[in-house]
Every structure is written in C-alpha cells, then in structure tokens.
Amino acid sequence: MINLRNLQLKEMETLIKSMGQPAFRAKQVFSWIYKGVTDFDQMTNVPKVLRDKLAEETYIGRLKMLKVQKSKTDGTRKYLYELEDGNTIESVFMKYKYGNSICVSSQAGCRMGCRFCASTRNGLERDLTAGEILSQLMEAEADTGEKIGHIVIMGTGEPFDNFDNVAAFLRIVNDKNGLNIGMRNITVSTCGLVPMIERFAEEFPQVNLAISLHGTTDEIRGSMMPVNKKYPLDVLIPACKAYTEKTGRRITFEYTMVNGVNDSDADAARLAGLLRGMLCHVNLIPLNKVAESGFDTVSRKRAGEFAEILESKGIPATVRRELGADIDAACGQLRLGN
C-alpha cells in the first residue's frame, strides 16, 4: 500500500494517471490531503471510481498519538507518536509572536552520537519517510485546531543523514496546492555533514540553515561531537562560508553552552574569530539537562555575557528563548521511546 503523504504532486499525478484518470485529479486529491482529510469519501469533487481505487491501493498515513504533554507556562505541546512499525518519535508545537511553529523529527533515533544530546542515546533505528515527517505537522494541526506556518527540522535525528526524504518533505509542504509553507519559513539544522551543506545550497537556497557548532577548537568540538572527526573545523567553516557566498543567506550557528567546557571569554573570542566576515548569527543555548550526560549548564546571565563579547566583536548573537522546559521539550531533550 502506498502512503499518499509520501508523494510529491508530480508523483501523485503519475500514480493517478496509472489508474486511468486525468492528471488534474491529482491536484484535487493532494489538496484534500493537506486540508486534513483522511477519508477518501470526504473528497467530494473526486469521482467515486477513483476514490474506491485509491482506497484499495493507497492510504493516508497517520501517526498514532500516544501522549501529549502541555506546558503550563508557554503553550508548548510535546507529542509522542507511534509509527506503523512500532517505533516512536517526538515533536514539539510552539507558539511565537509571529505564529505557530512545529519542531519535527527526521529520524527515529540518531547515529551522530553528540554527547550532550538525549536523541542519540540509543542510536539510530531508522530514517523517517517524507510522509512521517509531514504527519507530525498534520497531527499537531488537528490536535490544536490551529494552523502551523513555520517548521524547524530540529527534533530527533540528523536531517542531512536522511537528505532525500527531508528533500521530498520540503517540496511537499512548500507546494502551493497543499500546505504552501514558504521555504523561508523553514529551518533545517545539521551537525555539519559537509557534502550535504553543498547539496542543500544547490537545491534549497531559500530554506534557512542552522549549523550546530558548539566548539571553537577541534579538541573541544571533538570532545562533544564525534562528527567533528570526519568534518573538522577547517573543513566545516570554509563550507559554511561558501554556502553564504553562494546563496546570499545568513547561517545561524547554534552554540550549546556547557559549563567549563566551551563557555569562557577565550571561547567567545575564538568563536568571533572563526566567524569573522561571515554572513551569520549565533544562537546561544544554555545546555538543557539530559540525565545521563554528566555535563553542566550555564546561567542565562553567563550566556548573556558571552553574547555581549560576540556582539562587541561584530558577531550578532542572541540567547535562545527556552520553551517547553517544564515538559522536557527543549533542545536535545527529545528521545526515542520514553
């Protein structure tokens, strides 16, 4: 059976033509799906014979919502879903002044091994399909009754380790006939898989890119992120620079601050040096607690001081607003299973 939420409009046209129906029917079906319809019989402008055929050979894949946690302070909701094969994933719905945003997972688990992050604790189970990434948004819209206009691919998983499915997801959510979410309203965050940064610049120059940096020397970054062995700073930073030059888009560097590891004045000065002259912005994230990690967080005051040092050296910096901390929904706290 084909999950229709995995299909880009073009692919749906091919399928529907193979069912002996004209291509324009695909647009109708596609737009029903992204209005939230999950029953073919509700697609009232689609002929019965096609609805029956679709019901025989395809389905509209949903996620089973196992749990919803609602923050008492800021409207954040964390969802735990079960996939068809029994794996579980989480996503987070957030309210901002500019509108609603969803943080989606791109993999069940993660194999990047960052030492401060809960999502990678049990390794990678598997990649998510485009439809499974999409359904996280659809289910959150259905649950809240609200439209979601912004997406961050910052949940569990490394999106650039699942590039093809993430790419299909981006094309589907961006389609005018469906959700029509602008590329500029979407952010993809990567731990720094360099060849994929190049591919991303080529294929998705409008989508915002965030890079998880977290360290200013190979020694420090390597102690936090195993991926630094494969793509050390003298490879990553030039790739980032090339990205900004090619696309004209600003990169957001995420910098999770860990007490005594990467939070000194010297770290701030080195960070400013690394990023000097690049079209970028630094987003400081005081480490969120992850039970097993053994790392310590910093105060928001210290993060503010660190930001000031960066600013004084000409690097724009902000401290990330923390949403959903009371329900363990903050960065690095999403995990496989529960």
* Whole-number Å distance between alpha carbons of 221 and 213: 7
Among 191, 233, 274, 327, indicate the residue that binds ligand SAH (CB under 6 A): 191
Among 129, 165, 174, 189, indicate the residue that binds ligand SAH (CB under 6 A): 189
* Whole-number Å distance between alpha carbons of 157 and 124: 8
Q: Which residues contact 298 (CB under 8 A, 6 or more apart)?
A: 257, 258, 259, 263, 286, 287, 306
Piece in contact with ligand SAH (CB under 6 A), picked from 68-76, 91-99, 185-193, 196-204: 185-193
Active-site residue list: 90, 331
Alpha carbon of residue 315 to chain centroid = 25
Min. distance of Cβ 312 from ligand SAH in angstroms?
A: 24
Min. distance of Cβ 35 from ligand SAH in angstroms?
A: 30
* Whole-number Å distance between alpha carbons of 88 and 107: 10
Interaction residues for ligand SAH, span 114-173 (CB under 6 A): 114, 116-117, 154, 158
What does the block give as tokens for 194? 């360099």
Min. distance of Cβ 253 from ligand SAH in angstroms?
A: 9
Pick 31 or 212: Cβ nearer ligand SAH: 212
Q: Would strands 64-70 and 77-82 be described as parallel, antiparallel, or unpaired? A: antiparallel
What does the block give as tokens for 207? 């989508």
Question: How many chain residues touch ligand SAH (CB under 6 A)?
Answer: 18
Piece in contact with ligand SAH (CB under 6 A), picked from 24-32, 93-101, 265-273, 284-292: 284-292
| Position of minimal CB gap to ligand SAH | 332
* H helix runs in the chain, sequence order: 9-18, 24-35, 48-57, 130-144, 163-174, 194-203, 218-224, 227-230, 233-247, 265-275, 300-312
Q: Is 332 in the site for ligand SAH (CB under 6 A)?
A: yes
* Whole-number Å distance between alpha carbons of 108 and 126: 5
Q: Is 290 in the site for ligand SAH (CB under 6 A)?
A: yes
* Whole-number Å distance between alpha carbons of 153 and 127: 14
* Whole-number Å distance between alpha carbons of 327 and 70: 7
Among 194, 236, 261, 331, indicate the residue that binds ligand SAH (CB under 6 A): 331
The Cα angle at residue 195 between residues 190 and 201, in degrees rounded to 5: 75
Piece in contact with ligand SAH (CB under 6 A), picked from 24-32, 235-243, 244-252, 281-289: 281-289
Pick 21 or 288: Cβ nearer ligand SAH: 288
Taking alpha carbons only, the member of 126, 129, 200 closest to residue 165 is: 129
Min. distance of Cβ 83 from ligand SAH in angstroms?
A: 19
Piece in contact with ligand SAH (CB under 6 A), picked from 138-146, 215-223, 228-236, 285-293: 285-293
Residue 98 carries which side chain, given as an amino acid letter? Y
Min. distance of Cβ 26 from ligand SAH in angstroms?
A: 33
What does the block give as tokens for 48? 């019965």
Min. distance of Cβ 287 from ligand SAH in angstroms?
A: 4
Interaction residues for ligand SAH, span 63-122 (CB under 6 A): 112, 114, 116-117
Interaction residues for ligand SAH, span 197-256 (CB under 6 A): 212, 254, 256
Q: Is 7 in the site for ligand SAH (CB under 6 A)?
A: no
* Whole-number Å distance between alpha carbons of 188 and 37: 27
Among 15, 108, 288, 309, indicate the residue that binds ligand SAH (CB under 6 A): 288
Residues that bind ligand SAH (CB under 6 A): 112, 114, 116-117, 154, 158, 189-191, 212, 254, 256, 285, 287-288, 290, 331-332
